[in-house]
């Protein structure tokens, strides 16, 4: 029997709630494969009024094919009218640098301030071995005066998808201690195709990888008490109230699974 602390999500129980509305921002990712699902998710995020979007990567299957980017633009057109911050996934980058051209990037990591949120878009493709990126992260995040610091990168340091646990174990010591030290609220990640959230040493990790790519089986027993998870196509919506950010998880039709609601962060 699944533990009660997982809020029954891991047992497959669904509690449909209301439609996504009045979101301050949203997150999703891993939207390659099924353009129709990606487009539905994009339409529902836009309709909910999200001011900006955080994307955990893997937008296309064939990064060197210009037509793949045309299809991406068609599916995401409602979201590309607003700030769209995407971390590079392992399926996004190729020899023609079309990902970089798509977003006008000179390098694969950068930061942006949106209101009281300081966003750090990171490149996890090298398992955070890039000394320049890590030095930049430490210097820039340490100097930040924003209330909320949020990282966005593709490969999660924690996960419950069996064949990718080893990869998470390898990445964890490179990035997790830094996010703890720099007092990040949390990180938006992808790569493990499902929804999963876990709170580790004060850092909230949100794996949102249900944007259209084929879903993966997950094993909640690989997590810890308090984790929440579900294998389904989805996006995550965030709402700010004072110094607190709450998160809710919505299916492809924009309907909430109320059993997956969680607090992203709160400051004194």
Question: Residue by residue, what is the 3-state secondary structure of 218-263?
Answer: CCHHHCCCCCEEECCCEEEEEEEECCEEEEEEEECCCEEEHHHCEE
pLDDT at residue 10, rounded to an integer: 35
Residues ≥6 apart with Cβ < 8 Å to 235: 20, 26, 27, 28, 41, 44, 45, 208, 210, 211, 249, 250
Q: How confident is the model at residue 166 (pLDDT cuts 50, 70, 90)?
A: confident
pLDDT at residue 16, rounded to an integer: 55
Q: Read off the pLDDT of each residue in 138-159 and give the average, rounded to a whole number.
A: 98
pLDDT at residue 12, rounded to an integer: 38
Q: In this structure, are strands 110-114 and 117-121 parallel, antiparallel, or unpaired?
A: antiparallel
pLDDT at residue 183, rounded to an integer: 97
Q: Is the pLDDT of residue 211 over 80?
A: yes
Q: Rounded to whole angstroms, how far apart are CA atoms 53 and 44?
A: 12
Q: Is the pLDDT of residue 164 over 90?
A: no
Q: Which domains does the chain have, with CATH numbers?
A: 23-266 (3.60.21.10)
Q: Rounded to whole angstroms, how far apart are CA atoms 226 and 200?
A: 10
Q: Read off the pLDDT of each residue in 201-228 and give the average, rounded to a whole number.
A: 97
Nearest to 49 by CA among 79, 87, 77: 79
Give me the residue label for tokens 């607003």: 82
Please write the tens of the pLDDT for every residue from 169-195: 999 999 999 999 999 999 999 999 999
Please write the tens of the pLDDT for every residue from 65-89: 999 999 999 999 999 999 999 999 9
Please write the tens of the pLDDT for every residue from 13-68: 444 578 888 999 999 999 998 999 999 999 999 999 999 999 999 999 999 999 99
pLDDT at residue 9, rounded to an integer: 35
Q: Is the pLDDT of residue 2 over 70?
A: no
pLDDT at residue 268, rounded to an integer: 81
Question: Which tops the pLDDT comparison, 1 or 109?
Answer: 109
pLDDT at residue 47, rounded to an integer: 96
Q: Rounded to whole angstroms, how far apart are CA atoms 84 and 59?
A: 12
The percentage of residues in the chain with a pLDDT greater than 70, rounded to a whole number, is 94
pTM of the model as a whole: 0.92
Structure tokens at 104: 């006008």
Structure tokens at 40: 């539905």
Q: How confident is the model at residue 159 (pLDDT cuts 50, 70, 90)?
A: very high
Q: Read off the pLDDT of each residue in 237-264 and give the average, rounded to a whole number.
A: 97
Q: How much is the mean pLDDT over the chain? A: 93
């Amino acid at each position: 029997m699944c533990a009660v602390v997982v809020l029954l999500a891991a047992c497959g129980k669904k509690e449909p709630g209301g439609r996504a509305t009045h979101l301050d921002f949203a997150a999703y990712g891993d939207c390659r494969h099924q353009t129709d699902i990606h487009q539905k998710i994009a339409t529902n995020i836009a309709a909910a009024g999200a001011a900006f979007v955080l994307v955990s990567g893997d937008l296309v299957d064939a990064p060197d094919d210009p037509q793949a980017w045309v299809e991406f633009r068609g599916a995401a057109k409602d979201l590309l009218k607003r700030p769209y911050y995407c971390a590079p996934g392992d399926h996004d980058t190729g020899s023609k640098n079309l990902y970089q051209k798509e977003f006008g990037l000179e390098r694969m990591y950068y930061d942006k301030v949106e209101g009281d949120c300081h966003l750090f878009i990171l490149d996890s493709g090298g398992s955070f071995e890039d000394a320049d990126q890590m030095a930049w992260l430490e210097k820039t995040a340490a100097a930040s005066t924003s209330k909320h610091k949020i990282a966005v990168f593709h490969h999660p340091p924690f996960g419950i998808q069996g064949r990718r646990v080893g990869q998470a174990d390898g990445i964890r010591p490179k990035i997790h201690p830094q996010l703890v030290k720099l007092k990040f609220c949390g990180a938006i990640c992808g790569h493990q195709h499902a929804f999963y959230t876990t709170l580790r040493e004060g850092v909230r990790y949100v794996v949102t990888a249900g944007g259209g790519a084929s879903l993966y089986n997950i094993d909640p027993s690989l997590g810890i008490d308090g984790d929440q998870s579900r294998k389904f196509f989805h996006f995550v919506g965030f709402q700010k109230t004072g110094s607190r950010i709450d998160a809710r998880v919505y299916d492809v039709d924009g309907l909430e699974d109320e059993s997956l609601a969680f607090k992203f962060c709160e400051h004194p």
